[in-house]
């Protein structure tokens, strides 16, 4: 059996599991509720930071997604491998002519698609609904930017979740570690940076370098640079970013660094999955 055939077989099996658990329905429902909330609330006012009402709704929604998407990705993948190992399905599947690499790649593709497809459906649907129902102009450039950044962030944390699932065999410990990774990504890094800035007067370039290590921070900067190119809300750091880095470079960073980090985590977890025992 070729690698492509192995991936297709595993993908069909994992897709059936995803559909049976109604994960796609759950993701669509979450995006629909968030989108409806921001459309109804955000379109009541005329503008913010250079955008119309639709721009504000999209800006607010994408920033909410920066907190939500890593949690969804970690929840969808943080217990995939260890759960299959515990219930014996992994050993049963690999007793057939399916390689470990084929299993890992097929599972990854299904989980990434199950997370990204609802997002790519919900964001344009929200924009079209706002344009038809409220007569708002849609900032398509920012919408595409938000979709690209969000998809990159999902890929990153999907890979991190698979890495946790592969390296931590106990499902409860894997769940706790996934939560800690999410908290560190969306909350603790901010507080840590504030503490460092208050304790030591670091130059703006150093503050930016520390913040850029976190893929969630990179995604935030990529979105804010589109909404407010001068980034005046960040003070000296914003001045440095606007004049020395630029909005295009921040967009590349917001997409490229999460993808690179995710690829590194996925490669590491694939190597560990191939070396470790099934039981």
- 186-222 pLDDT, tens digit per residue, is 876 665 665 566 566 667 667 667 777 889 888 888 8
d(CA 63, CA 223): 8
- 89-125 pLDDT, tens digit per residue, is 888 888 888 899 999 999 999 999 999 998 888 888 8
pLDDT at 260: 95
- 141-190 pLDDT, tens digit per residue, is 888 988 999 999 999 999 999 999 999 988 889 999 999 999 888 876 66
Average pLDDT over residues 39-68: 68
Q: What are the residues whose beta carbons fall under 8 Å from the beta carbon of 231, sequence distance 6 or more?
A: 224, 225, 237, 238, 239, 241, 242
Buried b / exposed e across 197-208, counting CB within 10 Å, b at 16+? eeeeeeebeebb
The values of phi and psi at residue 51, to 5°, are -105, 160
d(CA 187, CA 68): 12
Number of domains in the chain: 1
Q: Which domain holds residue 269?
A: 3-275
- Give the chain's mean pLDDT: 81
Q: What are the residues whose beta carbons fall under 8 Å from the beta carbon of 238, sequence distance 6 or more?
A: 230, 231, 232
Cβ-in-10-Å burial (0-12, 13-18, 19+) of 191 comes to exposed
Question: Is the pLDDT reported for residue 268 higher than 90?
Answer: yes
At residue 236 the predicted structure's pLDDT band, cuts being 50, 70 and 90, is: low
Tell me which of 85 and 267 has the higher pLDDT.
Answer: 267
Question: Is the pLDDT reported for residue 6 higher than 70?
Answer: yes
Q: What are the residues whose beta carbons fall under 8 Å from the beta carbon of 209, sequence distance 6 or more?
A: none
């Amino acid at each position: 059996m070729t690698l492509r055939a192995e991936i297709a077989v595993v993908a069909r099996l994992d897709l059936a599991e995803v559909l049976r658990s109604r994960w796609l329905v759950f993701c669509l429902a979450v995006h629909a509720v968030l989108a409806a909330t921001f459309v109804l609330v955000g379109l009541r006012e005329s503008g913010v930071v250079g955008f119309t009402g639709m721009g504000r709704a999209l800006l607010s929604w994408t920033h909410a997604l920066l907190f939500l998407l890593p949690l969804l990705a970690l929840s969808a993948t943080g217990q995939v491998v260890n759960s299959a190992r515990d219930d014996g399905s992994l050993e049963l599947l690999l007793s057939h002519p399916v390689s470990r690499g084929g299993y890992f790649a097929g599972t990854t593709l299904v989980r990434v698609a199950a997370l990204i497809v609802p997002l790519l459906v919900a964001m344009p649907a929200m924009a079209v609904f706002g344009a038809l129902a409220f007569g708002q102009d849609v900032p398509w450039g920012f919408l595409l930017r938000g979709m690209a950044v969000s998809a990159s962030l999902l890929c990153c944390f999907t890979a991190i979740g698979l890495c946790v699932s592969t390296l931590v065999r106990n499902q409860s410990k894997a769940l706790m570690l996934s939560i800690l990774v999410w908290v560190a990504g969306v909350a603790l890094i901010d507080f840590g940076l504030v503490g460092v800035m208050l304790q030591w007067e670091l130059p703006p370039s150093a503050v930016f370098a520390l913040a850029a290590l976190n893929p969630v921070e990179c995604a935030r900067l990529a979105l804010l640079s589109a909404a407010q190119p001068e980034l005046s809300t960040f003070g000296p750091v914003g001045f440095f970013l606007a004049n020395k880095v630029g909005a295009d470079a921040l967009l590349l960073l917001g997409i490229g660094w999460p993808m690179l980090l995710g690829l590194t985590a996925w490669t590491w977890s694939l190597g560990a999955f191939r070396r470790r025992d099934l039981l």
